[in-house]
Chains A and B, each alone.
Chain A
């Protein structure tokens, strides 16, 4: 009989949800919008475009090595802008991203056999230039100057000119292991905002419970002998389905919509589907468990509309959704390790980028499921307290 009641209440939950445009928007549209915006905005963060940044060159040396330096730098970075009257001001305004100044003694110092003395090339950058671009430019400058000096010394002592033959970059090979998948913005953002979106159920469930407490339907069901456990299950189970639809929708957006919008596409090629399903299920239990516990604690719509979103944003900030955990200081990384959103995110990244097996993501899945179970137990206790006068 309890099963019949549960089915009727779940059916009611779906009918109420499907007729609530605001809830549908916040549950499905908001996370999709987040994924689209963040993926497009951060499109280049994983492959910064070193070429095409506006820059100016000031060459104070008339020697042959300076000419060669300019030729090769332009080949690497494109044509420079003309040097403005107030170069530092142009940098501060962002009109130029960086300036390279070649000092008058450049050719002489590079071709002299003794240890080079004094700065020969200066790199001055826009204060807003990303640190990765700044370091890449610095490294390219050092490598080019090294090449020119090696060529000049060889020419001087052996008389054999090998212009362009000291291609140092040919000596170095770099590779980022990714199982064939490049860590694009979409590949990073879909898991992050998927985790965030799944926790949006907190607001929806909290508002639902406040409304049903206020209008007396919770008490009415208790009076009819519907136990708190059945009432909580009737709220939780539909939202597990909501989480599943959210996950499918957001993965679909990554795979099919993002390429249409000019972004990179999400690839699920080669992933372990069992791992993905296990992790999403555990994540959903954690999200719904927390939503039910919080909803049972909250008393007013004002609380539901503030506490839920604030908690979500804080958990997202701590959990690496907004700022990747890898770039956090050590202390913050430790704190992030205790965030359920971080367990979900690390697990999803492992599934999508490293093709982790179910065993490999078991620690994250277990933490999420345990967290969900504790939250569900808390929800039952709090719900009983809430419905007793």
Chain B
């Protein structure tokens, strides 16, 4: 559905590009998780898809047609559920939906049907006449979602849609996103919460400094840790243990963990035996499982991002 290739963008007066050769594909019926620390380029990428930034380099195609042409002909094929509560607090839920339905070019009976469907999908019927300013954080997020879904978009971009909501609302939003994808919508979902990506994404992309660092199915990405052994050893210095295990694979120290990526044909049992024969008392170990957070932190170098 969406195909991006070699997308590059540099803001005026900035010394480095915000996007540098981004390539990705989003398919109908799938959730593409987009992960990246602050300053990774996620917002710039979303702004391109929302039509708020011109393309400087590369290409964005929707079903093979350049994005600009698609947006000119039918701007509501792509919807954005932004991070902010992008609606009018002084208006009621229904008044907001009516206003944005008109802005989405929905008229007459279709408009009323889509408003009813959006209210039902987000379970906001009970609050239809409540002023948006008086809604809780979770309900505001649902209204944001309801507005995004009004024009029945083919691609929906969710920009951190669960920030600041209670666990119930969060679960509701995640279910709603999964349902959307099941019904055939292409979804791009950005978040800082790795477990959300693990819960709903079919495909994930990890970005940093405007580049794609990893792109694959969740199974592929999590499988990257297949030959990785992590040990916690307290009675010896990590450097000594690393030296003892160096012959079995690449070693590195991550906080309290000693991480060994085992060479081909070396079994974890061999490595454990080698450590114990060197006198190490193993207190914790895990093998073959790499959660998204480990991968993310390893790829983005763990440094704080203040930009």
Contacts and interface: CB of A to CB of B under 8 A. Distances in A.
Contacts of B91: 12, 15-16
Interface stretch (A57-65, A215-223, A253-261): A215-223
Interface string A1-42: 100110111011001100110000000000000000000000
Given A16-B90, A19-B90, A20-B90, A222 B95 contact: no
Nearest to B43: A389
Given A8-B99, A9-B99, A216 B84 contact: yes
Contacts of B82: 216, 219-220
A27 to B, nearest CB: 16
A389 B90 contact: no
Contact of B75 (A215, A224, A388): A224
B84 A224 contact: no
Contacts of B78: 223
Contacts of B47: 389
Contacts of B95: 12, 15
A8 B102 contact: yes
Interface stretch (B49-57, B181-189, B275-283): B49-57
A1 B73 CA distance: 13
A216 B157 CA distance: 15
A224 B86 contact: no
A224 B44 contact: no
Nearest to A219: B52
Contacts, number: 84
A220 B83 CA distance: 11
Contacts of B87: 215, 217, 220
Nearest to B11: A389
B71 A225 contact: yes
A1 B147 CA distance: 19
A225 B69 CA distance: 12
Given A12-B95, A19-B90, A389-B53, A223 B75 contact: yes
B103 interface: yes
Contact of A220 (B43, B98, B147): B147
Contact of B51 (A1, A215, A216, A223): A223
Interface string B63-84: 0000000010001101110111
Nearest to A221: B103
Contacts of B104: 224
Among A15, A219, A223, which residue has the most Cβ atoms of chain B within 10 A? A223
B86 A219 contact: yes
A138 interface: no
A1 B151 CA distance: 15
A224 B98 CA distance: 14
Contacts of B71: 225
Given A8-B98, A15-B91, A222 B51 contact: yes
A311 to B, nearest CB: 26
A2 to B, nearest CB: 9
Given A12-B88, A219-B86, A220-B86, A226 B103 contact: yes
A155 B95 CA distance: 92
A387 interface: yes
Interface string B227-246: 00000000000000000000
B16 interface: no
Among B78, B83, B88, B107, which residue has the most Cβ atoms of chain A within 10 A? B88
Contacts of B105: 1, 4-5, 225
B100 interface: yes
A89 interface: no
Given A12-B95, A216-B84, A219-B52, A224 B100 contact: yes
B85 interface: yes
A214 interface: yes
Contacts of A222: 50-52
Contact of A217 (B75, B88, B151): B88
Among A5, A20, A216, A221, which residue has the most Cβ atoms of chain B within 10 A? A216
A5 B103 contact: yes
Contacts of A214: 84
23 contacts: A4-B102, A5-B102, A8-B102, A9-B99, A9-B102, A12-B91, A15-B91, A16-B88, A215-B89, A217-B86, A217-B87, A217-B88, A219-B52, A220-B80, A220-B87, A221-B103, A223-B50, A223-B51, A223-B75, A224-B75, A224-B103, A387-B52, A389-B47
Interface of A: 1, 4-5, 7-9, 11-12, 15-16, 19-20, 214-217, 219-226, 387-389
Given A15-B95, A219-B50, 10 more contacts: A9-B102, A9-B103, A12-B99, A15-B90, A215-B84, A216-B85, A220-B80, A220-B86, A222-B51, A223-B51
